[in-house]
Amino acid sequence: MKDRQPYVFRRGYLPQPVVRLTGARDTSGNLREGFLTSFVNVSRVEPVARQDEFGEILDHWLSLLSSIGLHARHLAIHGRSTVWTRREVQGITLHFRHIDLPIGDIVLLWNAIDPSCMAVDLGSGLERLAWARTRQSWPHLVFGSFASICPSKTLDAIRTATLMVGSGIHPASRGAGGVLRRLLTEVSPMDAPLGVSALVRESHGFWSSVSAMQVPWPEVTQTIERELARRS
């Protein structure tokens, strides 16, 4: 898009585990309901040749949402037609809401110099879609039976650490390893007196269902427990 090249590396619906530390938090610093430090980003990225393809992709997304029980009569689409600019790229963004719950957005992008070079980027979160569909308690939806055992911030930290270590990242003083180390400071020894293997195994299974993990769960457990022991 930025370089006006006529190819893409991937296209279509792309599920991808991501780590983001920008989730909304309450006054105590805890993540608000609906937010996690790691989640499955479900996006559709498509180059388009005509602006009306944006509407076709939007219509297909609404049909897909309806097929999982999020019907159009309960959906709202809102946003501004104002064009935003980020260096070489311009675009407009529309947001989706199911009743009172934000569930994603769709962006029409084009090259600022050559507007004929366009793409659509539609994004949502798998866990948030499941929440909108079921309206379960957020902690129990994400953490299952563990939600009644440990604080959500501990469960979130271990869940995200499992993804990071399983992807080949190790605790370090800087970089991604530094992020991992800081994340694990959320885990109190009192919250995991018998170790974290059960939660790691559960989380590893979830992440593996989306994208193959490089490191098996027993090794992930050892790495996390060594880091927790280092701080104790």
Whether the predicted pLDDT of 3 surpasses 80: no
Same domain, 23 and 92: yes
Give yes or no for residue 128 having a pLDDT over 70: yes
What pLDDT score does 10 carry? 66
**Does the residue 113 lie in any domain?**
yes
Q: Mean pLDDT across the stretch 41-48?
A: 92
Same domain, 108 and 201: no
Question: Is residue 124 located within the same domain as residue 80?
Answer: yes
Instruction: Examine residue 25 and state whether it is found in any structural domain, yes or no.
Output: yes
Model pLDDT, residue 170: 97
Mean pLDDT of the chain: 92
pLDDT, residue 123, reads: 94
Domain termination residue (choose one: 70, 100, 135): 135
pLDDT in tens, 66-106: 999 999 999 999 998 899 999 999 999 999 999 999 999 99
pTM of the model: 0.90
Q: Give the pLDDT confidence score for residue 104 in this predicted structure.
A: 96
Among residues 78, 102, 135, the one where a domain terminates is: 135
Residue 43 within any structural domain of the chain: yes
**Cβ–Cβ under 8 Å, residues 17 and 49:** no
Same domain? For 32 and 77 the reply is yes
Residue 4 within a domain? no
Say if residue 74 is in the same domain as residue 181.
no
pLDDT at residue 14, as a whole number: 82
Helix (H, G, I), strand (E, B) or coil at 54: helix
Q: According to the model, what pLDDT value does residue 201 have? A: 98
Please indicate, yes or no, if residue 3 is contained in any of the structural domains.
no
- Give yes or no: residues 130 and 155 share one domain: no
Same domain, 103 and 207: no
d(CA 121, CA 23): 21
Number of domains in the chain: 2
Check residue 133 and give its pLDDT: 96
188 and 94 both lie in a single domain = no
Residue 7 within a domain: no
The reported pLDDT for the residue numbered 232 is 73
pLDDT for 226 equals: 94
128 and 193 in a common domain: no
- Picking from 109, 135, 161, the residue at the C-terminal end of a domain is 135
> 3-37 burial, b if ≥16 CB within 10 A, otherwise e?
eeeeeeeeeeeeeebebeeeeeeeeeeebeebbbb
Is residue 6, in this structure, part of any structural domain at all?
Answer: no
Whether residues 76 and 144 fall in one domain: no
34 and 20 share one domain: yes
Shared domain for 156 and 128, answered yes or no, is: no
| Residues spanned by the domain of 107 | 12-135
Residue 1 lies in a domain: no
pLDDT at residue number 112: 92
Whether 216 shows a pLDDT value over 90: the answer reads: yes
Residue-wise pLDDT for 153-185, tens only, equals: 999 999 999 999 999 999 999 999 999 999 999
Q: What's the rounded Cα separation, in Å, for the pair 18 and 41?
A: 6
CATH number at residue 40: 3.30.930.10
At 81 the pLDDT is 85
Whole-number pLDDT of residue 8: 63
Share of the chain above pLDDT 90, in %: 83
In contact, 206 and 130? CB cutoff 8 Å: no
pLDDT of residue 211: 93
